[in-house]
Structure 1
């Protein structure tokens, strides 16, 4: 078998083309690695303030105590707060749930519970004071 000089020339041109493509791919790879090195940082090198922003807490329904009124629920995570809330009368619980969950005014809560606005305001204030007293007594003692 004889090699045709024309085939040899085509083979040389193809080899040169392949080498050029590989050379430029290597250059692109090196550029990409330099770009990444400039933009990315190891976690060990991050300052503590940046590390604090990276965490997230899982939120499970079983981690909170749920109080509900008329299908509206108020989840409370702290056991101390939930114990204090459970110690309130049911009507005061419902007033606080309607106020905190639905953000209703005292007049709207009064219409829902068939109470006057002033009675709702008085019971809400009393309930919040009782909660405050129970929670500060537990912290202090």
Structure 2
């Protein structure tokens, strides 16, 4: 008879253990859900500035203007700038791109184009002024 009571006691103890385990697992699960809710923000609650930081815009090489300058290919994504560059002569465009994009000094540009350094300087200044005027006219 003692064994029967002992067996029943074991069952009740195991039953209590299982219920307690489930109870604390539920507590842990609810605590984890609450913790995540405090950390996570719904997209609908984000400001537009924050949403823009999360956005990714694809850019493809075919969408930008490409200019071959020496061994380099320079890609310009701004359409207005590309149109303005296209109105310049090829030599002036190359001088500007070498100077601003490839960061070459006038001396290196002169050696590359086989012209004098002073000519490069003059062409660069005039081309820059012309480009600036074209961009200002385009924005009005």
TM-score, normalization by structure 2: 0.81
List gaps (5 residues or longer) in structure 2: none
Partner SS for 1:58: coil
**Residue of structure 1 equivalent to 2:22:** 22
Aligned partners of 2:51 and 2:80: how far apart in 1?
31
**Deviation larger for 42-51 or 64-73:** 42-51
Residue aligning to 1:34 = 34
Alignment match, 2:94: 94
What is residue 63 of structure 2 aligned with on the other side? 63
Q: Which runs of 5+ in 1 are unaligned?
A: none
- Tell me how far apart the structure 2 counterparts of residues 109 and 123 of structure 1 sit (CA, whole Å): 11
Is the Cα–Cα contact under 8 Å of residues 98 and 109 in structure 1 kept in the other structure? yes
Partner of 2:139: 139
Q: TM-score, normalised by structure 1?
A: 0.81
Partners in 1 of 2:93 and 2:116 — Cα distance?
A: 17
Write the distance in 1 (CA, Å) between the matches of 2:137 and 2:38.
55
Find the aligned partners of 1:52 and 1:78 in 2 and give their Cα distance: 20
* CA deviation after TM superposition for structure 1 residue 98, in Å: 1.5
Aligned residues, how many?
138
Superposition RMSD on alpha carbons, in Å? 2.2
Runs of 4+ aligned structure 1 residues displaced above 6 Å come to none
For 1:4-19, what aligned pairs fall within 5 Å after superposition? 4-19=4-19
| Aligned equivalents of 2:135, 2:47: Cα separation in 1 | 37
**Distance in 1 between the 2:48 and 2:84 partners?**
37
